[in-house]
Amino acid sequence: SPLHEFIKGLPKCEHHVHLEGCLTPELIFELAARNGISLPTDPVYTSISTLSKRYEHFTSLDDFLHFYFEGMAVLRNEQDFADLAWSYFQKAHSDGVHHAEVFFDPQVHKDRSIPYETIVGGFSKGCQRAEKELGLSTRLILCFVRHLPVDSARGVYNELVASKHFEADVVHGLGWSSSEVGPPKDMFRDIYADAKESGIPLTAHAGEEGDPTYISTALELGATRIDHGIRLVEDEELMKRIARQGTLLTVCPLSNVRLRCVQSVKEVPIRKFLEAGVKFSINSDDPAYFGGYILDNYYAVQEAFELNVLEWRIIAENSVQESWIPDERKAVLL
């Protein structure tokens, strides 16, 4: 397509990528060997290629999450976390990403006895290296998971407070993710109330598999951004409100296809969001599992919707404007 060079050159900001979702089959095998960890007995772990093949056939969010949580068991030492983050930032840089806000799941690592300091220490070293060597700006967003007890989230939140990592901008904001339908919609109500009181920026995965009431609950609890949010189109009034408020949706088209939220990228409501004036960015989610990084997602949107230069400028501009960065940094990126 004639716009491919233009899209490649757009200044990109990534707002929705899980660092653990950047763990490629290659890196899983490499870290398992380095750390002397045996991989699960499931025959899909026979080789890099059998594992990669399995990733092409997820049946749902929870089917994917099983492999996502299994894979991250190879992360043991601070260096593993740093190497994983660095591998993502190098790829993002080559895709034209200038600013990246990245999620990580401390509860899941703590559950397998990795200390909070090892996790945050490693990931933040990866961020510092990206800032220094690639000129990327980065933000770490600590993500709570919905499949573990809320007490475990409270434990991590207490460690965040004790570490003063928010005040030091080591951890910039909070999110929630993992299984959407099932656990109570408002399970993080108390934690989000405390975090909001402390001025911590809040986002939440909502409206991926779940209906629009998951989105309205997230907003009620203090989220100022919505991750995925594609089912927003099912509630006209809520969509108008989100457009009016200027709330950003962080959309992940290839993820939605791989997890069967939609049958093809054409079903992702990109046109509807543009027409309704809903701000969104295009992101990679779990690129090691979903067959593409951010530029692949941009290209997939172009192939499905044939947007014009003006529409791409709106998308790129909104992704800069809604980033959690100071105005001076926005001015550099625009």
Residue 216 site contact among Zn ion, ligand ES4, none (CB < 5 to 8 Å, cut-off depends on kind): none
Contacts 24+ apart (CB under 8 A), 112-120: 112/73, 114/75, 114/76, 116/156, 116/159, 116/163, 117/163, 118/77, 118/78, 118/81, 119/81, 120/163, 120/165, 120/170, 120/171
Note the residues at the interface with Zn ion (CB under 5 A).
285
**Site for ligand ES4 contains 21 (CB under 6 A):** yes
Residue in 101, 159, 208, 209 annotated catalytic: 208
Question: What is the side-by-side strand order in the sheet with 173-177?
Answer: 12-18, 97-104, 137-145, 173-177
Among positions 242-261, residues that touch ligand ES4 (CB under 6 A) are 255
Closest CA to 100 of 331, 286, 320: 320
**For this structure, is 303 an active site residue?**
no
Given 230, 285, 294, 300, the residue binding ligand ES4 (CB under 6 A): 285
Q: In the structure encoding, which two tokens stand for residue 253, read together?
A: 């088209």
**Site for ligand ES4 contains 204 (CB under 6 A):** no
Residue 316 site contact among ligand ES4, Zn ion, none (CB < 5 to 8 Å, cut-off depends on kind): none
Q: Is 169 helix (H, G, I), strand (E, B) or coil?
A: coil
Q: Closest approach of Cβ 167 to ligand ES4, in Å?
A: 27
Residue 208 site contact among Zn ion, ligand ES4, none (CB < 5 to 8 Å, cut-off depends on kind): ligand ES4
Is 286 marked as a binding-site residue?
yes
Given 15, 18, 109, 110, the residue binding ligand ES4 (CB under 6 A): 18
Closest CA to 316 of 1, 93, 97: 97
| Binding-site residues for substrate | 286
Which amino acids are annotated catalytic? Answer: 208
Residues that bind ligand ES4 (CB under 6 A): 18, 21, 61, 68, 177-178, 205, 208, 255, 285-286
